[in-house]
Structure 1
Amino acid sequence: MSGTSMDGVDLAVVDTDGLDILALGETRYRPYSATERATIREALGTWPGDDRAEAAARVVEAAHAEVCAGLEDVAAIGFHGQTLSHDPDNRRTHQAGDGARLAELTGRMVVWDFRSTDMAMGGQGAPLAPFYHWACARLIGAGGPLAFLNLGGVGNITWADPQAEAPEAPGALLAFDTGPANAPIDDVMRARGLGDFDADGALAKTGRVARDVVQAAMGARYFARMPPKSLDRNDFADLFDVLAPLPDADAVATLTAIAVASVARAMVHLPEAPAQLLVTGGGRRNGAMMSGLRAALKCPVHAVEAVGLDGDFLEAQAFAYLAARVLNGMPTSAPGSTGVAAPVGGGRRSVP
C-alpha cells in the first residue's frame, strides 16, 4: 500500500480465506526517497496519458517490486497503486501503477485496479478497507458494533457489526471519508519549511485554533451529504489561502481542529453509537489530534494497538485481504461501504 501521505510502501502478508483472518504474517516498509516523493507529488491531480503520471507510475512500480523481493509462499500480491486523482461524481479515479508490469517485475500474480468496477456501477470507489475492518472486528472478538477511523492523508471511518454473516450483508457496514486529515497539515509543514509532518502534534499543541476558519470549513457541502461519500486528497486545498496569514503553529492547530471536527460530524451518520473508536493511520501518533478526538467524542478512543492490531500496516493488510476475495470470487465493496448499487467484486488479475 502506498497511501495519500506518500511516505513509502507498506507490505503485509495475510493468511485468509477471504472471510476471516487466519493469521497475520510478515511486514515490511520501503520509504520513498525525496526525489521519488517529488516525482509522485508532481503528478497529483493528473490522469492517464500525462507524462507526469507515467513518471510517477514507474516510481511506484519499482518501489513495490523492491519491497516484494524475496517473498515466499505468497499466492498473490494485492496492489492498490498510488492515487493521483479521485473524481467520484464523474465516475473516474486514477491509481498510478500497472499491475501487469508489477507481475513481470515480481514474477507473481498481481491483483489490482480495485476501484474501477465499483465506480462503473455507481459506487464512490472508496473507501475500500472497510471489508477488512469488518474482518478485524471478528478477529479481535468484538461482541457488537465498533468503528475504525483511518487518519491518513484523508480521514475515513468504518462502522462495523461483526455479528453480520459477511461484510457485504445488509447492515454489516457503513463507511465513508470523514474529511481532511494529515494531508493538509503535511502540505503546510512542507510549504513553510517546517519538516514533512507535525510529529506528535507538537506544533499544533502550541498554537491557537482559528475557530472562525474551522466553522467556515465545516460549512462545506461535503459534510452535509449523506454517506457513503468520498474525497480527493486535494478537495480542501482552498484552506491554504485562508490559513496563509496565520502563524505556523496557529495554522497547524487549526487544520488539526478541522480534522477532529470532521470526525465528530461524521459520528452523527453512524447507525448506532460504537462501543469504541479504533484509530489507525499516521494520525494516531498525533497527540494533539488524538486528544481532540477524545474531548469531542462520547465513545472511548484508542489506537488500534490497544486491541492487538498494527496501525502501520492495516491498510496494506486490507489489500491483501481484498486480493484473496477477488481470487475467491467474493465481493470487495457493497452499498454500505461505497454506495455501489449492489455488492460487487472489483480487481483485475495479471500473471507474469
Structure 2
Amino acid sequence: MSKKKRAIGLMSGTSMDGIDVALIETDGGRELVHGPHAADAYPAEIKVKLRGALQEAQALKDRADRPAALLELERRLTELNAEAVRHFLEANGIAPETVDVIGYHGQTVLHDPSRAMTVQLGDGVLLAALTGIDVVYDMRAADVAAGGEGAPLAPVYHRALAAQLPSMPAAFLNIGGVANVTWIGEAGRIVAFDTGPGNALLDDWMLKHRGAAHDADGAAAARGRINEDALTQLLTNGYFGAPPPKSLDRDAFSAAPVASLGVEDGAATLTAFTAAAIGKAREYMPREPLTWVVCGGGRKNRTLMSMLAEHVPNAVVPAEAVGLNGDIIEAEAWAYMAVRSLYGLPITFPETTGVSEPMTGGVLAKAPG
C-alpha cells in the first residue's frame, strides 16, 4: 500500500505579498509529484495591517498571546487562506475529500529564537473547520522550544528537489523578505541558514519613496550607483561573522546607512547588500556549490541576479532553468513537511536549525467529522 499522500501547502512569506498555494503528492521521502499551484494577493488593507502587526508583535511576552488587533487579523488571515484553498480546489476540479492534509505556514510577525519566540498568525483549527481538510500548522515552534533556530525549514524539501540535479554540491537559494540558502552535498548532507536580507529592505525603501513595495526587474537599482561607504557599514553587522545555524527576523537590519541617498542609489546599495551577504555565506559551506538554484521573488530582480553572479564563481540560475517553478517551492515545501509530520519524520536537523537532534514538528488539527 502506497504511503503517498495528496497535500496542499499554504505559504505566506516575509515579503507579505499574499498566499501561495501548491499541491503535491508525496510520501515525505523521494516520491514526489508536482501538481497545480496558484497565488492569491493580499487585499491592500491587509498589507497595511500586517505592517502594523510587525510592530505590535515586538511587545509580545508569550507566543500564544493575541492582543485584540492581532487576534482579529489572525482570524481574517485564516479566512483568506481558507478562501484561497476553496478557489484553488474549484479552479482545478479537485474534491476536498481527495486531499489528505494542508501544510499551513501562517504569516510570520515575529521571529526571535534568542527569546524562544516565533509567532505566525494563523489558526490551524479554524482553517481545518473552514476547509474540511486536516491541517498541520505551527511547524517552527517545536524546534525553537528545543533550542533550535526554527528556520530555515525548507531545506529538507530542497534536498528532495536536488535529487534531479546533474551534479553536486548545489545550493538552493530562496530570496523572499529574508534570504536563506541550503547547501546539499553528494551524500545528501545539508547545511542551511539565513544569509541576510532578501527583498525586505528594498521593498520597504521603494514603498517609502515610490509608494509601491517593489523594484520591478531591479530597474531603479540598475539606474543607481552603489554607495560603497554605506554598503561597508551595512556589512559590518555582527550577524555575518556568526557561524550557522542562524536565522533572522524580517526587520533584523536597518536601512539607516542609505537614508541620505537618492531613491535609485539607495535601491542599488540595498540590492548590493543582499547580493554581498549571500556571497559571504560561501564561507560556511563545506565546498563551493557547482550550481546556485534561485527561487522566491528575488530571482525576478535582474539587477540582483546580476550582482549575485559577481559574488559567486559558478552558475546562478533561476529555478525554472532546472525545471522547477521558483514561485511555489516554499508552498510545496510546507505540503511536503506536513506529510513528513504525519509520519513522524524529521523536518529540522542540527545542520539546518542547530537543534540537538533531528526532530519532527507541527500541530495536527483534524477536520470536523
Aligned to 1:231: 248
Q: 1:141 to 1:180 in 2, by over 3 A?
A: closer
Residue of structure 2 in register with 1:316 after alignment: 331
Residue 282 of structure 1: how far off its partner (Å): 0.5
- Cα deviation, 1:167-213, whole Å, max 9, x if unaligned, reads xxxxx110000001100111111111342200000000000111111
Q: How many pairs are equivalent?
A: 342
Where does residue 33 of structure 2 map in the other structure?
23
- Which whole-Å CA distance do the structure 2 matches of 1:142 and 1:323 have between them? 28
Paired with 2:187 and 2:274, the residues of 1 have a C-alpha distance of: 30
Q: What residue number does 2:69 align with?
A: 52
The answer on whether the counterparts of 1:134 and 1:162 sit within 8 Å (CA) in structure 2 is: no
For the structure 1 residues 149 and 263, does the alpha-carbon distance in structure 2 shift closer, same or farther, using more than 3 Å as the test? same
2:364 is the alignment partner of 1:349: yes
**Post-superposition offset of 1:162:** 5.3
Native 8 Å contact 2:172 2:295 kept in 1? yes
Match of 2:148 in 1: 123
Matched, 1:147 2:171: yes
Gaps of 5+ in 2: 1-10
Give me the whole-angstrom Cα distance separating, in 2, the residues matched to 1:258 and 1:297: 14
Code of the aligned partner of 1:302: V
Mapped partners of 1:311, 1:53: distance in 2: 31
> 2:134, 2:166 → 1: CA distance?
34
Task: Give 2:305's aligned residue.
Answer: 290
1:202 aligned to which of 219, 230, 237: 219
Which residue identity lines up with residue 37 of structure 1 in the other structure? K
Displacement of 1:244 after TM fit?
1.9
Give the match for residue 278 of structure 2.
263
- Quick one: which amino acid aligns to residue 35 of structure 1? E
Matches within 5 A, 1:97-246: 97-138=122-163, 140-161=164-185, 163-164=187-188, 172-236=189-253, 238-239=254-255, 241-246=256-261
The range that moved more, 213-222 or 50-59, is 50-59
Alignment TM-score, normalising by the size of structure 1: 0.95
Q: Distance in 2 between matches of 1:256 and 1:102?
A: 37
Q: Does 1:7 align with 2:17?
A: yes
Q: Tell me, yes or no, if the aligned pair for 2:167 and 2:290 is still in contact at 8 Å.
A: no
Q: How far is the alpha carbon of 1:161 from its aligned partner? A: 2.5
Give the match for residue 119 of structure 2.
Answer: 94
In 1, the alpha carbon distance for the partners of 2:69 and 2:242 equals 33
* Cα distance in 1 between the residues matched to 2:117 and 2:211: 34
Contact 2:149 2:355 in 1 (8 A): yes
Deviation of 1:56 (Å): 2.4
Question: Paired residue for 1:169?
Answer: none
Residue of structure 1 equivalent to 2:4: none
Identity of aligned residues (%): 43
1:144 partner SS: coil
Q: Is the 8 A contact 1:14 1:21 kept in 2?
A: no
Mapped contact 2:20–2:39 kept (Cα < 8 A): yes
- Maintained 8 Å contact 1:278/1:302: yes
CA contact (8 A) 2:140 2:361 kept: yes
1:40 maps to what in 2? 50
8 Å CA contact retained: 2:234, 2:257: no
Contact 1:228–1:338 at 8 Å: present in 2 too?
yes
Q: For 1:79 and 1:161, how far apart are their aligned partners in 2? A: 29
The change in CA–CA distance for 1:260 and 1:141 in structure 2 (over 3 A counts) is: closer
- Equivalent residue number for residue 340 of structure 1: 355
Shift in Å at residue 74 of structure 1?
1.1
Q: Contact (CA 8 Å) 1:331, 1:346: kept in 2 or not? A: yes
Distance in 1 between residues matched to 2:169 and 2:257, nearest whole Å: 38
Counterpart CA distance in 2 for 1:254 and 1:328 is 45
Q: Are the counterparts in 1 of residues 174 and 180 from structure 2 also a CA contact under 8 Å?
A: yes
Cα distance in 1 between the residues matched to 2:31 and 2:279: 30
Separation of aligned partners in 2, 1:141 and 1:199: 29
The whole-number CA distance in structure 2 between the counterparts of 1:207 and 1:32 is 30
2:3 aligned residue: none
Q: What's the counterpart of residue 345 of structure 2?
A: 330
In structure 2, C-alpha distance between the alignment counterparts of 1:19 and 1:120, rounded to whole Å: 25
Aligned residue for 2:158, secondary structure, equals helix
Counterpart of 1:167? Answer: none
Q: Cα offset for 1:63? A: 1.3
Q: In structure 2, what is the Cα distance between the partners aligned to 1:162 and 1:23?
A: 23
TM-superposed CA distance for 1:266, in Å, is 0.5
Matched position secondary structure for 1:85: strand
Residue in structure 1 matched with residue 7 of structure 2 by the alignment: none
